[in-house]
Structures are given as structure tokens and as C-alpha cells.
């Protein structure tokens, strides 16, 4: 039985006790977040990332072997018109003959406060499109609908990479305030990855080990006048 290592990095900007104790989960936008007029720590901020969480994990495919799947979800508050650009999100991906990644956006919603009630506007198919960056890379883009001053947007995306040795960079801080940021990496014990951090504020890092097994199915066809196919399960 192989051991799956889980490397967790998290960085928290202490904005207020209420922000930290809040449950970080898509669809749980609060009226308080929509009513907020300015960022508690930076009144000049045009937008802020209320939370962003990501996990890169290895999955086994019978045909491809190990691949890496990265899931990211985020919630962003728009304070001013200058922050509308944060309603446009994009994710680059490899698009080469021997390395084709796939990117999927989902659960993309814009929230507004209308007459004291939360109004939701979901992203439609015409708000998502692909752009060719080069012969090696593409760009998946979304433009969130019904964005106004005071809006909160949420989205989730997945990246499926057929390689087992590519882990995306993760930015814990950007040009706007980030209230909470977390990134996890899960991989089998016989892989070795070395974290490489840049900047002057380093996140808290923790490592845990969890047991997990994989079952591989295979078949073998015999030879001779009467051939028979044998099926095997390896754990």
C-alpha cells in the first residue's frame, strides 16, 4: 500500500476575526460581504480576493498512468469600477502534440444585493471562450455577467494535465488584497517534489501522510487452438 503525501501551504491576512471564522465554500456568499463598501485594511482597493483555495493531486489512469488534476475555487469582491477587470478570469494551458491539458470552468456566479436580497447571475456559455497564445499554449477565459460596484463573484476551474511532473505556480498575493489563500499538493510517496518559494512573506507549511491504494485491472489473452482471456486485479 502506497502512502499519499499531502503538502498544505496556507497564508492568511488577518483582516477580522469574522472573516477567518467564516466557512470558505462556494455558494456561501453572505449579505455582509455584499454590503461591504471598502476593504477593512485597504480603503483604496478596487477589489479583493476574499478567499482562494487550490489542490493539485495525482490521479491514476489505466491508459495514461499518473496525471495531475488541479482544482481551484475563489471568491472576489468588487469595490470600484476600476476592479471590474477582476471579473475577467483566465487560465493558460499547454496545447502541444505531446502535452495537451484541459481546462474547465464551473460554478461561476455573480452575486449582487438587490432590495436587501441576494441576486445570483450564472455564467452562460457565451461568457466562456478559448484563445490561442502560441503553438504551445492556449488560454481559457471567462467574463462574469452583471458585475457592478459591490458585486461578489465566485468560480471554480479544473486543469487536467497528462504529465505527472508539472505542478502549477501558486500566487499567495497579488496586486489586490488577499484575505485567505491556501494550496495543497497530494502525491504518492515515491515521488519527490521540492517547494520553491519566492518573496519575503512565506506561508505556513504542513505535511501529512494518508494511506491509499489503487487497483489496476488488466487482461491477458492466451494462445492455442482454444484461446481464453484471463482478467487480473493488481493492488
The CATH code of the domain that includes 42 is 2.60.40
Number of domains in the chain: 1
* Helices and strands, counts by H and E, the chain: 2, 14
| Domain span at 201 | 2-234
Average pLDDT, 10 consecutive residues per value, the chain (235 residues): 49 43 80 96 97 93 86 98 97 94 96 96 94 95 97 97 91 94 90 85 86 80 71 80
The x, y and z cell numbers of residue 7, run together, are: 503538502
What grid cell was written down for 80?
A: 470600484
Radius of gyration, alpha carbons of the chain:
22
Amino acid at each position: 500500500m502506497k502512502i499519499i503525501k499531502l503538502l498544505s501551504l496556507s497564508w492568511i491576512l488577518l483582516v477580522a476575526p469574522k472573516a477567518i471564522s467564516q466557512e470558505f465554500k462556494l455558494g456561501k456568499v453572505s449579505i455582509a460581504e455584499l454590503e461591504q463598501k471598502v476593504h477593512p485594511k485597504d480603503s483604496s482597493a478596487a477589489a479583493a480576493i476574499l478567499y482562494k483555495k487550490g489542490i493539485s493531486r495525482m490521479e491514476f489512469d489505466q491508459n495514461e498512468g499518473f496525471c495531475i488534476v488541479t482544482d481551484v475555487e475563489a471568491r472576489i469582491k468588487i469595490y470600484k469600477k476600476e476592479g471590474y477587470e477582476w471579473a475577467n478570469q483566465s487560465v493558460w494551458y499547454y496545447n502541444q502534440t505531446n502535452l495537451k491539458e484541459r481546462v474547465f470552468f464551473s460554478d461561476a456566479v455573480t452575486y449582487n444585493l438587490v432590495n436587501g436580497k441576494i441576486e445570483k447571475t450564472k455564467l452562460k456559455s457565451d461568457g466562456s471562450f478559448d484563445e490561442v497564445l502560441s503553438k504551445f499554449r492556449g488560454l481559457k477565459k471567462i467574463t462574469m455577467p452583471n458585475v457592478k460596484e459591490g458585486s461578489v463573484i465566485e468560480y471554480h476551474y479544473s486543469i487536467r494535465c497528462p504529465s505527472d511532473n508539472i505542478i502549477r505556480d501558486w500566487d499567495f498575493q497579488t496586486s489586490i488584497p488577499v484575505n485567505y489563500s491556501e494550496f495543497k499538493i497530494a502525491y504518492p510517496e515515491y515521488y519527490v517534489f521540492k517547494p520553491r518559494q519566492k518573496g519575503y512573506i512565506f506561508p505556513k507549511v504542513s505535511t501529512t501522510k494518508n494511506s491509499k491504494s489503487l487497483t489496476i485491472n488488466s487482461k491477458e489473452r492466451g494462445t492455442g487452438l482454444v484461446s481464453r482471456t484471463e482478467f487480473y486485479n493488481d493492488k
